[in-house]
Structure 1
Amino acid sequence: MARSTRSRSTDPLTREVVDLIGSVVARYYAEYELAAAHHSLTGAQARVLALLSREPTPMRKVAQQLKCEPSNVTGIVDRLEVRGLVERRPDPADRRVKVAAATDEGRATADRLRESLDFAREPLGELTNAERTVLRDLLKRMLGEDAED
């Protein structure tokens, strides 16, 4: 197949998709910050709590997932721990490593926060299951992750 002389990055459709992704991200972050504030959390604290509510995680791994310095995560976990939303505990696989884990109250707070995010949920609810599956798989592909299901 012959290659187009025009780069995909300058293709009008690609530019439009990139702009739309940027708009989605901006709206998501704005709503996420508002939802976090309603729970007296910063956006960063809410994101860490959301990650830890899924499973106990070493703070180094949390930093990698959030693309930030481990010292930032340590400070965030310190503040969440003072509020009783997370706790540090030894990693069962390697007791030399500490993991951060959401407490019951932390998981409940993360659930309430997630439930208050209407921006993505409402439009996604209008898509069929097949459309949501395709969207999920395309997003995973863009992130270099394997699609599941």
Structure 2
Amino acid sequence: MDAPDRLTAEVIALFAKITDLYSREYETASAHHGLTPQQVKVLLALDEALPMRRLAERVGADPSNLTGMVDRLQSRGLVERVPDPTDRRIKRIAATDAGRAAARDLRARLRFATDPLVALDGNQRRGLRDLLQLMVDSQSPGA
């Protein structure tokens, strides 16, 4: 495979910088609360009580791995397991008052991650979305 052209190399470098910005911001914010970046993602995903499977989908984690994260967050008093109102066999994961307060603080600390597109107007955002989707679609089977 040939080396990427200069423009492609610049785009790849920018993707790496964006990834680094996200990672550093999540690491710094999570360390402030004594959490892991993945625990922060779980906490921030709980704007409503969710079944474990749906929460796992939202944060991109395997449900079996999520159980340990939820256990640790629960031991810290940040989340709780509550019965599903329509099916008592199902437990939903909900943020506690302390968890919601931590999530508010975390969002304030995650300035870039909260809105990395702040410098773009609506048309630019749509264009970027469409281009990124094209990149993802090109890697899908059958593409």
Runs of at least 4 residues off by over 6 Å:
140-144
- In 2, the alpha carbon distance for the partners of 1:123 and 1:73 equals 26
The residue type equivalent to 2:33 in the other structure is: H
Write out per-residue CA displacement over residues 40-78 of structure 1, whole angstroms, 9 at most, x where no aligned residue: 1111111110111x1111112222333333222111111
Q: Report if aligned partners of 2:25, 2:113 keep a CA contact under 8 Å in 1.
A: no
1:44 aligns with 2:13: no
- In 2, the alpha carbon distance for the partners of 1:42 and 1:125 equals 26
Q: Report if aligned partners of 2:49, 2:95 keep a CA contact under 8 Å in 1.
A: yes
Write out per-residue CA displacement over residues 89-122 of structure 1, whole angstroms, 9 at most, x where no aligned residue: 1112322211101112211111110111233468
Shift of residue 124, structure 1, vs aligned partner: 3.9
Task: Output the TM-score relative to the length of structure 2.
Answer: 0.73
Task: Output the TM-score relative to the length of structure 1.
Answer: 0.71
Q: What is the number of equivalent residue pairs in this alignment?
A: 137
Structure 2 residue runs without a partner (length 5+) = 138-143
1:27 aligns with 2:27: no
1:108 aligns with 2:101: yes
Structure 1 residue runs without a partner (length 5+) = 1-9, 145-149
- Counterparts in 2 of 1:1-149, with a 5 A limit? 13=7, 16-52=10-46, 54-120=47-113, 124-128=117-121, 130-132=123-125, 134-135=127-128
Q: Report if aligned partners of 2:45, 2:59 keep a CA contact under 8 Å in 1.
A: no
- In 2, the alpha carbon distance for the partners of 1:99 and 1:39 equals 23
- Residues 132 and 57 (structure 1 numbering): CA distance in 2 closer, same or farther, change over 3 Å? same
Q: CA RMSD in A?
A: 3.1
